Amino acid sequence: MSADEYEIRIRGVIGDAVVERFGEFDIEVEPVQTVLRGPVSDQSALLGLLGRIQALGLELIEIKQVAGRAGRPLRRTTQPPAS
C-alpha cells in the first residue's frame, strides 16, 4: 500500500539524537525550524507521529499533506464544489 506524503514543520533546530527518532523522513534544517518530509501510511501512523512529536517536547508549527497516494500532488480549489 502506498502512503501519502507529508511535510511537518517543527520550531527550532532539533539535535542528532532527536533526528534519529524520525529516520523514515527526509530532514531539512532551516534557520528557525526543522522540516520533516516523508510518507505517512494512514491516520493511525499520523497520530503516532504527532504523539512522538509531543512526547519529545517539540513545538509543531505546521503539518500538511503535500502529495496523495502514488506521489500525486494534491489539487486545491478556491471555489466550493458545484451542487
Instruction: Express each pLDDT in 40-73 by its tens digit.
Output: 999 999 999 999 999 999 999 999 999 776 556 5
8, 53 in Cβ contact below 8 A? yes
Longest CA–CA span in the chain (Å) reads 51
CATH of 4-70, picked from 3.30.70.1150, 3.40.50.300, 2.60.40.3880, 1.10.3720.10, is 3.30.70.1150
Give me the pLDDT at residue 31, please: 87
Question: pTM for the whole thing?
Answer: 0.76
Predicted pLDDT at 82: 54
Domain boundaries, given as residue ranges, for the chain: 4-70
**3-28 pLDDT per residue, tens:** 889 999 999 999 888 988 998 899 99
Among 2, 76, 12, residue whose Cα is nearest residue 39: 2
Residue 71: per-residue pLDDT: 55
Residue 74 has pLDDT above 90, yes or no: no
